[in-house]
């Protein structure tokens, strides 16, 4: 199915914004490590991951533009704070602590892997095709971050302790990734999306397998708290948004 019913435009935009905004801000956060990662290989890899996430965000913003007939750059950079739908974990400061960056990346990368796997089964062909393409790259992201978890968890007592502390710190923010975008049930009811397994359980199982092999854990539970998907953001988000909009605001009509 290539055409989307008019009554499903708003819930689809809400869904796509949650995905694109997550990707944009995570890529922006990770780009902060360019030139200062612990080793050269990590520096190059994290820069590449950041570029991937921003490119993925751009692709989804363009898809949103086909639904609401808006310019993708305006969608990405021209909204007010409460119009962004990202979970705040992607904008949470890691304080240039490598363990924090790795923990955040693990939670977000595995979430996006399972999210894209689900969206690749959508009956709306533009969404399924794009999700399948990006899923292949997302698999590489998960493999890369899993390797870092092994390095830190199986390194020495200090690296393991730092990793466990980071995992504990970011776990409450990680569960907020599962806050449902407004109108999601409408997409399920219209059979645009498939609901063939429990999203949270799939994610947590993947997380546990990766962490268990490194001798660390993730303790978290699902929550019904409203947050970023509902436009309610914290101060880290506000600062990140100001950085992202700084150049765009000087000339919104420029080609990017």
pLDDT tens readout for residues 75-93: 999 999 999 999 999 999 9
Closest C-alpha to 214, from 162, 166, 148, 170 = 148
At the top level of CATH, the class of 7-248 is: mainly alpha
Q: What are the Cα distances from residue 117, in Å, to 6, 71, 110, 120, 219? A: 25, 27, 11, 5, 24
Q: Please, what is the average pLDDT of the chain?
A: 93
pLDDT over threshold 90, residue 248: no
pLDDT tens readout for residues 186-227: 999 999 998 777 999 999 999 999 999 999 999 999 998 999
pLDDT over threshold 90, residue 55: yes
Q: Where do the structural domains in the chain lie, given as residue ranges?
A: 7-248
pLDDT tens readout for residues 143-174: 999 999 999 999 999 999 999 999 999 999 99
pLDDT of residue 37: 83
């Amino acid at each position: 199915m290539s055409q989307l019913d008019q009554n499903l435009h708003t819930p689809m935009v809400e869904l796509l914004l949650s995905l694109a905004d997550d990707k944009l801000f995570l890529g922006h956060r990770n780009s902060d490590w360019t030139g200062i990662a612990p080793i050269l290989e990590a520096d190059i890899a994290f820069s590449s991951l950041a570029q991937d996430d921003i490119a993925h965000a751009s692709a989804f913003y363009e898809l949103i533009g086909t639904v609401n007939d808006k310019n993708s750059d305006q969608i990405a950079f021209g909204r007010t704070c409460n119009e962004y739908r990202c979970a705040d974990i992607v904008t949470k400061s890691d304080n240039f602590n490598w363990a924090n960056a790795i923990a955040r990346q693990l939670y977000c990368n595995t979430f996006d892997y399972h999210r894209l796997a689900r969206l690749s089964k959508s009956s709306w062909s533009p969404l399924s095709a794009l999700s399948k393409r990006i899923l292949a790259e997302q698999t590489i992201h998960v493999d890369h971050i899993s390797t870092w978890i092994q390095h830190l968890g199986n390194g020495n007592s200090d690296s393991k302790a730092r990793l466990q502390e980071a995992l504990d710190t970011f776990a409450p923010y990680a569960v907020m990734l599962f806050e449902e975008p407004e109108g999601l049930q409408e997409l399920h009811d219209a059979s645009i999306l498939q609901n063939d397994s429990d999203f949270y359980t799939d994610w947590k199982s993947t997380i546990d397998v990766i962490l268990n092999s490194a001798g660390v854990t993730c303790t978290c539970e699902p929550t019904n708290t409203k947050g970023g998907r509902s436009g309610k953001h914290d101060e880290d988000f506000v600062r990140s948004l100001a950085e992202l909009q700084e150049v765009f605001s000087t000339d919104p009509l420029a080609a990017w």
